[in-house]
Amino acid sequence: MRRRAILDTAATMLDEMPVSAVALNELSRRVGLAKSNVLRYFESREAVLLELLDQAWRQWNADLPERLDAAVDAGAPVSRRGEQFAAVITRTLAERRILCDLLSAQAGVLEHNVSPEVAARYKRAALSSVADLAALARVHLPELGERAEQLCGQMIMTAGAVWTHARPSAAMLAAYEEDPSLAVYRMDFAPSLQETLTTLVAGTLARAQS
């Protein structure tokens, strides 16, 4: 029950603030436990957030089949199905701010300050989630064949990277306002991600069929 309370409280905090602002002291205060007691259940703030990432990713995977079935035309040419697949991935990720924020922090933040055991447990879960996503990809794009898992792993990494770049710091936003020419490569998350994923899917399909 206490593990669940810690996770639920951390999830509530992520509704209110970015991953970078979630602090263990505040989490402990909100749960009503001493920091040392929180650390009895999770070895670090990052361990809590990795578990939330795993849960959010699994929920996204579970929601995708219905969205893909509705949007991907099974009778369309493979190029069109690839575009539709990339569009669904983009739309559903754009609806999940917390998942995107956690994915963007995964390698650079969340996989640090954890034990090898926690890191390995999370990585096994992530590989399983990539495999589940690849299975969905093969339903709608069977032409991918054995390249589906590599593609899906790359899509997840791309989503995290685009999310980060689509959220510039306050200092950078001020610099853009002062000199708009600096914002030539500024990204809006959904259109930038969809364009990048569409290109990635098309390239992977071309290589799979070559």
- How do residues 7-29 score in pLDDT, each as one tens digit? 999 999 999 999 999 999 999 99
Q: Which residue carries 């957030």 as its tokens?
A: 49
Percent of the chain with pLDDT over 70: 100
pLDDT band at 85 (very low <50, low <70, confident <90, very high): very high
Q: Which residue carries 């495999």 as its tokens?
A: 131
Residue 187, classed as helix, strand or coil, is coil
pLDDT band at 153 (very low <50, low <70, confident <90, very high): very high
Of 183, 154, 169, nearest to 89 by C-alpha is: 154
10 Å Cβ neighbour count for 77?
9
pLDDT band at 186 (very low <50, low <70, confident <90, very high): confident
What is the average pLDDT score of the chain? 95
Question: For the chain, which residues make up each domain, given as ranges?
Answer: 1-42, 50-209
Give the span between the Cα atoms of 205 and 199, in whole angstroms: 10
- Class (C level, CATH) for 1-42: mainly alpha
Cβ proximity of 48 and 118 under 8 Å? no
Once rounded to an integer, what is the mean pLDDT over residues 136-155?
97
Q: Which CATH architecture has domain 50-209?
A: Orthogonal Bundle (1.10)
- What pLDDT sits at residue 210? 81
Whole-structure pTM value: 0.92
Give the span between the Cα atoms of 119 and 142, in whole angstroms: 32
- What pLDDT sits at residue 123? 96
**Angle ∠(47,98,58) on CA atoms, nearest 5:** 70
